[in-house]
Structure 1
Amino acid sequence: MKKFIRILGLVLTLLTLTVVASACGHKPLSQRNVLQTDRQDKTITWGVKADTRLFGLLDTKDNQIKGFEVDLATALTKQMLGKDAKAKFIQVTSSTRMPMLKNGNIDAIIATMTNTPERRKQVDFSKTYFFAGQSLLVKKGSRIKNVKDLNKQKGTVLGVVGSDSVQNVAKVAPDAKVLQLTDYAQAMTALKSGQGQALTTDNGILYGMSVQNPGYEVTGGTFVSEPYGIAIDKNQEPFKASVNKALTQLRENGEYDKILHKWFHNVKGFDYKEAAKE
């Protein structure tokens, strides 16, 4: 009888916990309605880069992340939820952004993330908000003028873990060696120290590096198209539709062009028309 009472007590405890959890609205990540939750909180949590000049870079003076993607995410938040809504930013890297989205740490990724067929197996993407192309960053005077030179000379190309740039360059320059670093700051340091002859990623990111490092330049044109999209978890159609609608509205009312010009107006060789393609 005592054993029966103990078992009955355990069952009642489990039932109580289940009811409490349900009352608190706890749901599996797959069942969350991100847009509904964000509307209630008047906040959208974005995963952004903090090491990528022009797109998302941590300002050590005030400890704020600033850049084109940060401003665009802020504008999207207010367009989606109202002028009093807040955009919250959490730092991600190329290797951490997908797990953080899947774990529910962030609502969406706006972090120089290219919309690719492989990634679409795991997440959905918004419309393109920045049309980039993969290129090379080299020291001025380098013998590497394009990706073919990198292949001929069997040089070392630097990239970042979690980025598709390394895989892309391996296809067009199979004889080149590859060295992957954790983030772009480390990759730039490696380039300066001579660990590689070129650094490869999207030209928009490389332009930012060239602005910060005048002794280096973007070269060779683009050899792979890199359309950036906002990554959203699967089964979040209402949120995706709201993002796309807001993005279209920002393009139509001129806010998108204003933000783009703010961050790229002084970048030598930058093509506004190309970058703004949908």
Structure 2
Amino acid sequence: MRNRTKVVALLAVVTMAMGATVGCATTEEVGDRGTPAGGPPMPKDAEVMSDLPAPGLDTRCGDATASLRPGGPPPTPGAMPGGTTMAAIQARGKLIVGVDQNTYQFGYRNPVTGEVQGFDIDMAKEIARAIFGTADGTIQFKVLTSAQRVPKVTSGEVDLVVQTMTINCERRENVEFSSVYYMAGQRVLVKEGSDINGADTLGGKKVCAAKGSTSIARIVNLETDPRPVGIGVDSWTDCLVMLQQNQVDAVSTDDTILAGLKAQDPFTQVAGVPFSEEPYGMAMSKNAPDFTRFVNSVLEQLRTSGRWTQIYNTWLLALLEKPASPPPATYRD
């Protein structure tokens, strides 16, 4: 029975990943971009990535996780103060949120119901509930890739991005972040029996991560000799399929995302210890500081009321096999 369960899980993730990939490239097309040719077709947008700035080195914004201080408890739901960003959202009737659909238990599409669900989805619903009094029918989810997150905020196409998004100074040049609502760490996912046992053994290996993520930038800047070969794709499930097909040697990103991939394919294992800290924040427009302060006031309530822990226990306790507490907030005026 255990082997049958493994096979079912493996087939399920391959199917989900193939469905999430928009078209496939031939190995020759991918090879033209520098990805090793031969074997099954790779995702259409897979490409070798290098010369990316190392994340975490830019400290010009000071403490990147320090967000705008809330002015107190949030207003009564359904009665947002006139002239505020929240009142405009209330008048529109929808909070528009950018999310993922491929990160298991954080933001993923339920194959039975077709609904997007997970920890990030429930956190976004709490913001909608604080504005409207309910999340039912008052939130519109837009599925984004990692690389689309900042552009969709700056263009105004979404009010908020809640998508396992690491706060850093480079991103804060273009978007504002909430206080930290989750703290993750980057690790490595490999097949069972791999000789890779952590970040320091990735030298010369092909390592997959999502484009536009801090993960891919950290991979190509690892001080190994030789350095890893970073393979960028649009979604994390593409990385898992490439690992299953021996097109990459490892996947490296936040431990939360890797735990979800491992749950979908029990023939993989998470190797080594975390080699970074990844503070997640909700991204918003820099032109709406009132909305950032409002979101922070809602997050403060989630921390103190125990609601954050309820959401964590629903989605992540069994997956990560450890209890957790909400990270404390750091503010600036």
What TM-score do you get using the length of structure 2 for normalisation? 0.69
Aligned Cα root-mean-square deviation (Å)? 1.7
What residue number does 1:116 align with? 168
1:72 counterpart = 2:72: no
1:206 counterpart = 2:268: no
1:172 counterpart = 2:222: yes
Structure 1 residues 1-278: aligned runs within 5 Å: 34-83=85-134, 86-151=138-203, 154-174=204-224, 175-270=227-322, 272-273=324-325, 276-278=326-328
Matched residue type, 1:45:
I
Q: CA deviation at 1:172?
A: 2.1
Matched residue SS, 2:166:
coil
Q: CA deviation at 1:79?
A: 2.3
Matched residue type, 2:283:
A
Q: CA deviation at 1:182?
A: 1.6
Q: CA separation in 1, counterparts of 2:162 and 2:110?
A: 18
Change (3 A) 1:190 1:105: same
Change (3 A) 1:266 1:84: closer
Give 5+ residue unaligned stretches, structure 2.
Answer: 1-82, 329-333
Matched residue SS, 2:169:
coil
Q: CA deviation at 1:91?
A: 0.7
Matched residue type, 2:259:
Y
Matched residue type, 1:155:
K
Q: CA separation in 2, counterparts of 1:254 and 1:165?
A: 31
Q: CA deviation at 1:148?
A: 0.6
Q: CA deviation at 1:162?
A: 1.0
What residue number does 1:22 align with? none
Q: CA separation in 2, counterparts of 1:159 and 1:255?
A: 32
Q: CA deviation at 1:271?
A: 5.5
Matched residue SS, 2:147:
coil
Matched residue SS, 2:189:
strand
Q: CA deviation at 1:84?
A: 6.5
The percent identity for this pair of structures is 29
Give 5+ residue unaligned stretches, structure 1.
Answer: 1-31
What residue number does 2:50 align with? none
Q: CA deviation at 1:61?
A: 2.3
Matched residue type, 1:165:
S
**Bigger shift: residues 35-44 or 235-244:** 35-44
Q: CA deviation at 1:146?
A: 0.6
Change (3 A) 1:108 1:127: same
Comparing both structures, which one devotes a greater share of its residues to strand?
1
1:52-105, CA deviations, whole angstroms, 9 ceiling, x for partnerless residues? 101110123222101100011112221244236722211111011222222222
Q: CA separation in 1, counterparts of 2:323 and 2:150?
A: 29
What residue number does 1:9 align with? none
Q: CA separation in 2, counterparts of 1:122 and 1:229?
A: 14
- Residues 128, 135 of structure 2: 8 Å contact kept: no
- Residues 222, 228 of structure 2: 8 Å contact kept: no
- Residues 150, 171 of structure 2: 8 Å contact kept: no
Comparing both structures, which one devotes a greater share of its residues to helix?
1
What residue number does 2:47 align with? none
- Number of positions where the alignment pairs a residue of Structure 1 with one of Structure 2: 243
1:140-179, CA deviations, whole angstroms, 9 ceiling, x for partnerless residues? 121000111112xx21111111111111122224511111
- Residues 136, 206 of structure 1: 8 Å contact kept: yes
Q: CA deviation at 1:269?
A: 4.5
Q: CA separation in 1, counterparts of 2:134 and 2:228?
A: 50
Matched residue SS, 1:234:
coil
Matched residue SS, 1:57:
strand
Larger Rg: 1
- Residues 119, 315 of structure 2: 8 Å contact kept: yes
Change (3 A) 1:266 1:74: same
What TM-score do you get using the length of structure 1 for normalisation? 0.83
